[in-house]
Amino acid sequence: MNIRNIHPERLIRGGLLVALVVGLAGCEPLGYSGQSQFRRNVHTIAVPIWTRGKDVYHREVEIRLTQALAKRVELDTPYKITNRQKADTLITGTIDRIEQATTSFNPDTGTPREIAVTFYVSFKWEDLRDGKVLVQKTNFPVSAVYLPSAPFNEDFFIGTEDLSDRLAKRIVETMESDW
């Protein structure tokens, strides 16, 4: 068969098919996988309310962080939240320190335009069936910025809502299996 007699559309389709087969054949050795990165032997997690360190004076930040973490676990993992008596694993933590810093000022008024907030936390995820520690981090920092001046008028509470969600997401990322 002469290549000149083949319709160009068929030639393109054939080339794409060959490229797809070659591409898929090489995926596994390169580290790509369609499998979940989360542990298969874990099905449930207990998330008790976190604690505040002795120098953390903001009220209810630990409760909002616990709620954000429970929601993030339910959204991003195959695990279900349950009470400690029924759980395979337990994740506990402490907000060790909260730092705030003004990152920019309004040049006309001298008031803060942006404030960065950083939570430093320590947490441990352990298997309740055998006592093995699955993940443990100390002094784990996560930051966010809020805008206290008009027109946004965000306060610390609003600023730390985003931070709690970011921190929960980062904690869930540490729960993934190593590559």
CATH number of the domain bearing residue 154: 3.40.50.10610
Asked if residue 59 and residue 30 are part of one domain, the reply reads no
Range scoring the smallest mean pLDDT among 14-28, 60-74, 94-108: 14-28
Q: Does 172 score more than 70 pLDDT?
A: yes
DSSP one-letter string for the chain: --GGGS-HHHHHHHHHHHHHHHHHHTTGGGT--SS-SS-TT--EEE-PPPEE-TT---TTHHHHHHHHHHHHHHHHSS-EE--TTT-SEEEEEEEEEEEEEEEEE-TTT--EEEEEEEEEEEEEEEETTT--EEEEEEEEEEEEEE--STTT---HHHHHHHHHHHHHHHHHHHTSPP-
pLDDT of residue 6: 61
Does residue 25 lie within any of the structural domains? yes
> At residue 70, what is the residue type?
A
pLDDT of residue 59: 85
Q: What mean pLDDT, rounded, does the chain reach?
A: 86
What band does 156 get if pLDDT is binned at 50, 70 and 90? confident
What band does 2 get if pLDDT is binned at 50, 70 and 90? low
Does residue 120 lie within any of the structural domains? yes
pLDDT of residue 77: 95
**105-150: per-residue pLDDT in tens?**
988 888 898 999 999 999 999 999 999 999 999 999 999 999 888 7
Do the Cβ atoms of 119 and 100 come closer than 8 Å?
no
What band does 153 get if pLDDT is binned at 50, 70 and 90? confident
Count the domains in the chain. 2
pLDDT of residue 80: 97
Asked if residue 141 and residue 54 are part of one domain, the reply reads yes
Cis peptide bond N-terminal to 151, omega within 30: yes
Q: Does 28 score more than 70 pLDDT?
A: no
Q: Does 25 score more than 80 pLDDT?
A: no
Asked if residue 78 and residue 41 are part of one domain, the reply reads yes
**pTM for this structure?**
0.77
- Give the residue numbers spanning the domain of 5: 1-34
pLDDT of residue 158: 86
**Percent of the residues in the chain that have a pLDDT greater than 90, as a whole number:** 59
User: Which token pair is 138?
Assistant: 């100390």
pLDDT of residue 14: 64
Which residues, listed in sequence order, are joined to residue 67 by a DSSP beta bridge? none
Does residue 89 lie within any of the structural domains? yes
Does residue 69 lie within any of the structural domains? yes
